């Protein structure tokens, strides 16, 4: 059985599950996710559950999925835009080889530093290069430098949804051919199919159009093949073809 803390964490982020019932989601967590969850991951998840913005965290099942994906593609050089307290970042750092690298960017260092002691205790902090501030100027500089073109095996984006398309325009140059970009929240609380007059929370309604625009653009981008998965709040994987 899940502890109260684990069950409580699910209640806070349960909206992210697009399964038929919370009970079915809980079954996945208790059967497949929590028993295999790294102790550091569990510690960071429980720490994050106490934070007032815990709705922003990556769900435990998505963390497990990312870990498996990174190992399957033998990722070594990765990027993460939008870190929060670092749950998905820790999942990535644990999955990468010891000489793996993650360029991690977020506008809030304070949240990152909340989870940093757990990351350090896990022995993977040396893999992370954290940059505080907006990601777009950093990406522009990397493209201008020239040496970063096609250099990333995997890029995970879980940040400001109104900039997802702006990120994509740049990241498609930075990820290698055959590499993967993962965009989180592409089903956006299920609001992507909500009728225009549906009673949505203000932030959900505000960002919905940006998510819809991204989904349309990715679906017709000839440079990538895509797979949209109902994991967490929806994640779209884009494999660069050219």
Token pair, residue 14, equals 């349960």
The pTM assigned to this predicted structure is 0.90
Q: Please say whether the dihedral angle defined by the alpha carbons of residues 231, 110, 34 and 40, taken in this order, is positive or negative.
A: positive
% helix, strand, coil for the chain, step of 5: 55, 20, 30
Cα–Cα distance between 103 and 28 in angstroms, integer? 31
**CA dist 74 → 60, 78, 152, 238 (Å):** 21, 11, 12, 16
User: What Rg value do the Cα atoms of the chain yield, rounded?
Assistant: 17
Token pair, residue 227, equals 């797979």
Beta partners for residue 199, in sequence order: none
- pLDDT tens digits for range 210-234: 999 999 999 999 999 999 999 988 9
CB 94 within 8 A of CB 122: yes
CB 33 within 8 A of CB 61: yes
* pLDDT for res 2: 40
| Angle of helix 164-174 versus helix 202-219 axis, rounded to 10 | 40
- pLDDT tens digits for range 26-48: 899 999 999 999 999 999 999 88
- Spell out the residues 6+ positions from residue 173 whose beta carbon is closer than 8 angstroms to its own: 143, 149, 150
According to DSSP H, which parts of the chain are helical?
Answer: 4-13, 22-28, 39-49, 60-72, 87-95, 109-121, 135-145, 164-174, 202-219
Token pair, residue 219, equals 């679906």
Banded pLDDT at 52 (limits 50, 70, 90): low
Structural domain including 203 reads 5-240
Judge whether residue 12 has pLDDT over 60.
no
Q: How many domains does the chain have?
A: 1
- Phi, psi of 132, deg, nearest 5: -90, 135
Q: What is the CATH number of the domain that holds 208?
A: 3.40.50.150
Cα–Cα distance between 90 and 164 in angstroms, integer? 22
Cα–Cα distance between 237 and 12 in angstroms, integer? 25
- pLDDT tens digits for range 189-215: 888 998 888 888 898 899 999 999 999
* pLDDT for res 129: 98
Banded pLDDT at 1 (limits 50, 70, 90): very low
Judge whether residue 7 has pLDDT over 60.
no
């Amino acid at each position: 059985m899940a502890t109260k803390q684990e069950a409580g964490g699910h209640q806070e982020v349960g909206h992210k599950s697009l399964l038929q019932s919370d009970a079915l989601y809980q079954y996945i967590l208790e059967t497949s996710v929590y028993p295999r969850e790294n102790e550091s991951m569990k510690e960071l998840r429980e720490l994050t559950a106490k934070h007032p913005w815990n709705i922003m965290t990556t769900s435990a099942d998505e963390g497990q999925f990312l870990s498996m994906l990174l190992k399957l593609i033998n990722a070594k050089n990765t990027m993460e835009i939008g870190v929060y307290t670092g749950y998905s970042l820790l999942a990535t750092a644990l999955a990468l080889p010891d000489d793996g690298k993650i360029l991690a960017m977020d506008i809030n260092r304070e949240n990152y530093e909340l989870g940093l002691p757990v990351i350090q205790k896990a022995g993977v902090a040396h893999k992370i290069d954290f940059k505080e501030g907006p990601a777009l100027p950093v990406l522009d500089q990397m493209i201008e430098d020239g040496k970063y073109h096609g250099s990333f095996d995997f890029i995970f984006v879980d940040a400001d949804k109104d900039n997802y398309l702006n990120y994509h325009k740049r990241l498609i140059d930075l990820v290698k051919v055959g590499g993967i970009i993962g965009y989180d929240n592409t089903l956006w609380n299920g609001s992507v199919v909500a009728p225009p007059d549906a009673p949505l929370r203000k932030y959900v309604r505000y960002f919905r159009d940006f998510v819809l625009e991204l989904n349309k653009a990715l679906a017709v981008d000839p440079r990538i093949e895509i797979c949209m998965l109902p994991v967490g709040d929806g994640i779209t994987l884009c494999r660069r073809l050219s």
